[in-house]
Amino acid sequence: MTRIVLPYLASYGTSLLGNSVTAIALPLLVLFTTGSPLGAGAVAFAAAVPSALAGLLMGFLVDRINRRTAAILADVISALALALLPLIELTIGLNLGWFIAIAVLNSFGDVPGVTAREAMLPSLARAGGIDPARLIGLRESLGGISMLLGPAAAGLLVATLEPVAVMWVTAGIAALAALLTLLIPARAAAHERSETSVGGLRSSAGAMLHGLRLIVRTPLLRALVLLLLALAVVLAAFQGMVIPVHFAFRGEGEAVGFVLSALAAGMLVGGGVFAAAGARLPRRAWLIAGILVIAAGLAVLATLESTVIVLLGAAIVGLGAGSMNAVVGLTFVEAVDEGRRGTVLGAQNALMTLVPALGIGLASLLIEFGSLELTAAILAGLWLLTVVAALFTRRLRRLGTERL
């Protein structure tokens, strides 16, 4: 079991950590190199849209080749793209155009790599003799660790190293993820390729839209994705706008990092609890518990009281999110046929890449034309409406029993 599961978890955690570090470090490097905040924002936006398109297209490819191979290719693309930055800096010099070009190229490795690793989980669980619920819970815990360490590591690297050295480090993390993935036995990641599920796709456009169509036409998947998107909007709004603005007004900007760490720590614990006890309770019970815990945490967070209260609210939200994400992730990999899993997960991840910008934009408008307190209350209310809708959605009562 360890020869299969440990390399998988190590490669997943390393890849996610690399993505987290790069997402923070790259805009900071743009800011320090060009002195342009607008340029830093342009680089972040330039990476988001191609990432979503790559997720849609490469999800189809993940279903056609060995998923271990797909994950390695994605990490190699990221490593090569990031390694180009220091090479360009040492030769002709970097400018904003180069940063945008590299961000676009790197985006073709991020989402496809995550999709490939998510899609191979059932095969690895079978080959390693481990309960999929336990494996996905451990994976979600690693996601929490990456969220916890990534921003801090990025800030430390940018503050202590020369920009060229930071670029080499980010490229090295992506290369390390590829090497760790090589340790996974290829036969353990092999899957049954269903030509009937993808053989009718005659064009790249058809391949890109196939996963979205499957999600839209399947009530269970549609309900789960809407749940994930609602949480992504609310969390992005709090993380990217409400919390930073709140502490900026209070003159406590350093507290923002602690709040994000509390959220990540909660996700780590939530995923760990599911890994330990996920098989003992029905999936619906875990889902309801997760969304209600998130609602309780957002109610605390939305008060915007003392720093301790905000930290507590963030930790509670993370606890519920870790559990909910594990349930949704497990349902996706079990409910979707082997030959279409990459396509569907690629479409889901593509949507999740674009939605945070919507949350931040929504929060900025509410703060501009309302108030910070009103914005926090509206966001918490939005999740409460999502909870009510989820509780009365019939398809969500069949978690763990329905297969496409």
Sorting pLDDT into bands at 50, 70 and 90, what band is 314? very high
- Whether residues 30 and 168 share a domain: the answer is yes
Sorting pLDDT into bands at 50, 70 and 90, what band is 129? confident
- Whether residues 282 and 376 share a domain: the answer is yes
Write out the DSSP string of 371-402: -HHHHHHHHHHHHHHHHHHHHT-GGGGGTTT-
Average pLDDT, the chain: 81
Residue 248 neighbours by CB under 8 Å, 6+ apart: none
Task: List the Cα angle 382/383/384 in 5-degree steps.
Answer: 90
Sorting pLDDT into bands at 50, 70 and 90, what band is 1? low
Residue 202 in any domain: the answer is: no
- Whether residues 181 and 253 share a domain: the answer is no
More confident residue, 325 or 255: 325
Predicted confidence at residue 299, as pLDDT, reads 94
- Whether residues 297 and 384 share a domain: the answer is yes
Residue 224 neighbours by CB under 8 Å, 6+ apart: 328, 331, 332, 396
**Cα atoms in the 13 Å half-sphere on the side-chain side of 100:** 12
**pLDDT above 90 for 317:** yes
- Whether residues 153 and 215 share a domain: the answer is no
**pLDDT above 60 for 194:** no
Write out pLDDT tens, residues 142-160: 877 776 777 677 767 877 8
Sorting pLDDT into bands at 50, 70 and 90, what band is 250? confident
Predicted confidence at residue 191, as pLDDT, reads 66
- Whether residues 158 and 231 share a domain: the answer is no
Contact 151, 20 (CB under 8 A): yes
Sorting pLDDT into bands at 50, 70 and 90, what band is 253? low
Predicted confidence at residue 192, as pLDDT, reads 60
In this prediction, residues 358-385 reach a mean pLDDT of 88
Write out the DSSP string of 176-231: HHHHHHHTS-GGGG-----HHHHTT--SHHHHHHHHHHHHHH-HHHHHHHHHHHHH
Predicted confidence at residue 296, as pLDDT, reads 95
Predicted confidence at residue 173, as pLDDT, reads 92
Radius of gyration of the chain (CA): 20
**Domain span at 228:** 209-404
More confident residue, 400 or 353: 353
Residue 198 in any domain: the answer is: no
| Integer Cα distance of 327 and 131 in angstroms | 13
More confident residue, 389 or 108: 389
- Whether residues 308 and 377 share a domain: the answer is yes
In this prediction, residues 343-349 reach a mean pLDDT of 81
Write out pLDDT tens, residues 7-59: 888 898 898 888 878 877 777 677 677 776 667 667 766 667 777 777 777 77
Residue 224 in any domain: the answer is: yes
**CATH of residue 50:** 1.20.1250.20
- Whether residues 277 and 165 share a domain: the answer is no
In this prediction, residues 97-112 reach a mean pLDDT of 82
Sorting pLDDT into bands at 50, 70 and 90, what band is 196? very low
Domain edge (last residue) among 157, 192, 227? 192
Predicted confidence at residue 121, as pLDDT, reads 84
**pLDDT above 50 for 136:** yes
Residue 204 in any domain: the answer is: no
Residue 294 in any domain: the answer is: yes
Domain edge (last residue) among 192, 224, 241? 192
- Whether residues 152 and 230 share a domain: the answer is no
Residue 200 in any domain: the answer is: no
Burial class of residue 292 (count of CB atoms within 10 Å of its CB; 0-12, 13-18, 19+) = middle
Residue 188 in any domain: the answer is: yes
Residue 370 in any domain: the answer is: yes
In this prediction, residues 212-222 reach a mean pLDDT of 83
- Whether residues 17 and 155 share a domain: the answer is yes
The count of residues in the chain is 404
Domain total in the chain = 2
- Whether residues 178 and 230 share a domain: the answer is no
- Whether residues 236 and 166 share a domain: the answer is no
Least confident of 43-52, 93-102, 165-174: 43-52
Domain edge (last residue) among 158, 192, 226? 192
H helix and E strand count, the chain: 16, 0
